[in-house]
Amino acid sequence: MTTAPTPHGTAALYCLFGDITWLQISFLSVYPSVDKVYFFLSSSPWCGSERSSEISEDLLRALPDPQGKVEIVSGAWSSETDQRNFTLAYAQSAGYEYGLIVDADEVYESTHLQSAIALAHQRRDVAVWHINWFTYWRSPDYRIEPIEPYQPTVLIHLGYAAFVETRNAVGQKHDLIPPTTCMCHHLSYALSDEALQRKHIMQPGHSQSAYPGWYESKWCAWLNDPTITDLHPVNPPWYVRAVQQPEDLKPSLLRGRGPW
């Protein structure tokens, strides 16, 4: 009787649909730190009206993969929870011990991410690791202040946790990656006007759409008055204000990248 191999290594688990603005930089920032990169490419959005994704298998295959780490898995999932749990099971069945939960608009300093993953492997009793992130506004030059209180799931000990909604997972023990070890750089709102218009919050008819007038009164008006506050399009107090992000706090792949 043969025994199953001991799980080892860390796989990056991308759930993809939609905007490609930061995908390549996200990928390049994660690639050196993991043993495998899975792209789970959905044929439809999680919410809002049916629309086409900007991400294709051809685009993903064109990304540099000198170590043969990339695998593309295409499918249709009815919700974010379903897709994320599918990724966990898929990576676990392939023999990986940890899943790095990463989206196409999240960038890291690679050496910091390596330290975070090493910490998880040293603390195998922790099922779910969370992280703090810098949320960028309009470009990598500005970020939201104060830092969002939300601490998303970033690393999961596969087989010991599962997602219950959006980026929230349940597991017996949770912990936080120390901010001095690693921060995530979240670029969901570091977008051109054109890219923002394609974002799901700009699509009417579902619960997470922007409140009426937000685009004109906040997004556009901020360029002329950066003191404008309460910037979030759905829950304004979440984004109190935008401040300049010092270059030394940016990951190396974002340095020198100014506004559009």
Domain range for residue 33?
10-188
Does residue 206 sit within a domain?
no
Does residue 86 sit within a domain?
yes
Radius of gyration of the chain (CA): 18
Does residue 223 sit within a domain?
no
- 11-48 burial code (b ≥16 CB/10 A, e <16): bbbbbbbbbbbbbebbbebbbebbbbbbbbbbeebbeb
Q: pLDDT tens, 218-249?
A: 999 999 999 999 999 999 999 999 999 999 99
> Tell me, what CATH number does 160's domain have?
3.90.550.10
Q: pLDDT tens, 170-206?
A: 999 999 999 999 999 999 999 999 888 877 777 655 5
- pLDDT at 149 exceeding the cut of 90: no
What pLDDT does 141 receive?
A: 95
31/110 Cα distance (integer angstroms): 8
- E-strand ranges in 68-172 read 70-75, 98-102, 106-107, 128-130, 133-137, 139-145, 153-157, 161-165, 168-171
Does residue 84 sit within a domain?
yes
Per-residue confidence band for 43, with pLDDT thresholds at 50, 70 and 90: confident
Does residue 158 sit within a domain?
yes
Decide: pTM greater than 0.85.
yes
What pLDDT does 3 receive?
A: 45
The count of domains in the chain is 1
Q: Considering the chain, what is the average pLDDT of its residues?
A: 90
